Structures are given as structure tokens and as C-alpha cells.
Amino acid sequence: MEYIIGILLLISFVGFRWYGGSDPVTLDKIRQIPGMRSIVSAVYDVKPGEVWPEESIKHLVDECREHGLIFDVVESIPVAEECSVVMALHPDDPPYPIFGLPRVITCEENLDRYLSIVDSPANSLCLCTGSLGSSPKNDIPAMVRKYSSMNRIGFMHIRNVKILPDTSFEESGHLTQNGSLDMNAIVKALVETGFDGYFRPDHGRMIWGETGKPGYGLYDRALGTAYINGLIKANGGVIE
């Protein structure tokens, strides 16, 4: 009998830096990433003090991040399979560029591409409804139903966000009426597709005079957990 001994959460929104000729070992390793050879070779020819306009290198930055993620997945998933570990990738939060930093995992197209890199149950998603739901382009209930049906969700972050008129957003309470996401439709999709993985309410506001780490209020997360459990039971699910 085989057991999954753990879920390892991967965060896609990592930082990056440009490497120069003084990093020969690192550059040699980067060269091993498919598609990166010409980019790395070009870096060696950069003159001290040379400035590259952002618009001329943006596509390179995007490609660097995507190739880096591909390299990580190709190398790590076989090891995860050997150790009976499921790797669950968290999408970029928020799903659009901040301070010029590019994003790689922001929508259904990105998720499909990511899962196709290594088609294995060990290569799964941490589907965060708040992160993906911050973009009005993403149909969260449909995405949950799709990837849960494929058995490719290892971990669910179930929270609500309120999308503002200027397309920015703010974190809200978990109830459907508090934000822009249909939380009942999301949980219903999980129940109807037989999802039996892990979930959490993820974030919480600071309420009732609580102090602590911003975004992780204990009381609000407790209320969120109770609400999600209620939605599970209301949709015919079982809480163990």
C-alpha cells in the first residue's frame, strides 16, 4: 500500500537578479536550463555601467523566470515521486506585475502549461482562490472544478477578495457577500468532484481589536474555517 507522506508547497512568486561575468559557477549552472544558453552568453558582453531600458529586457526577465520554474519542476518531481511527496505550486500573488516584477502563474493557461511540464500526480497545484481571484479574468469555480476533476489540486487556499472599480483589490471576509468570489460555488465544485485534499482559510483580517501578523488574523481565519465547513456540509460533503 502506498501513502502520501506530505504536501510540499511551492511558491511561484520568487525574486530574481541579473548575473554578470563574476558569477562563473552560477552562470554555468544557468546554462543548463533549456533555452537559456543565448541569454547567459549575452550577459558576459555587458559593459560596466551599461543600462538596459526596461522595455528592451522585459521579455528576457519573463523568460528567465519561466525557464527557472521549468528547471525546478523537471529536477524535483522525480525525487518527490520517490519520496511519496506531492508538490503543490502556489500561483503568483497578486496575478499581475508589481514594481515591474513579472509573473508566471496567473491564469488557467499558465496552470495548464505548468502541469504539462511533468504530467505526474506528484506535480500538483496549491489553488489559491484569493490569488487567482484577484484577477476578474479568472473564473475560479470553473478552474477549481477543472483541476479537482483532474486530481491535480494538492492543497486549497479558500479565501475571498473584493475587486475594486480600479481593478485593484482588498482582502475581505470569507463570506460570499463580503467579496467578489462565489464561495459556495467554489466549495460545491470541490465536493462534487470528490476533492479529499487539504484546505485552509488562508488569510484573515485583524478584527475585534486583535494584533499580530497582518493578513493572518486568528479570529477571522477561525470564522472562515467555520464558514467553509458549513458550505461543505450544505453541499453534501463530509468533514472528517
Q: Which candidate in 64, 93, 147, 203 is catalytic? A: 203
Residue 44 annotated to the active site: no
Those residues whose C-beta lies under 8 Å from the C-beta of residue 21, and which sit 6 or more positions away, are 27, 43, 44, 46
**Alpha-carbon torsion, ordered 114, 120, 121, 122, to 10 deg:** -80
Residue 157 annotated to the active site: yes
Nearest CA-CA partner of 87 in 196, 11, 199, 1: 11
Q: Which candidate in 147, 157, 220, 227 is catalytic? A: 157
Grid cell digits, residue 79: 525525487
Nearest CA-CA partner of 103 in 143, 138, 149, 151: 138
Q: Which candidate in 128, 174, 220, 227 is catalytic? A: 128
Residue 128 annotated to the active site: yes
Residue 83 annotated to the active site: no
Q: Which candidate in 126, 202, 220, 227 is catalytic? A: 202
Residue 174 annotated to the active site: no
Q: Which candidate in 64, 90, 92, 114 is catalytic? A: 90
**Catalytically annotated residues:** 90, 128, 157, 202-203, 216
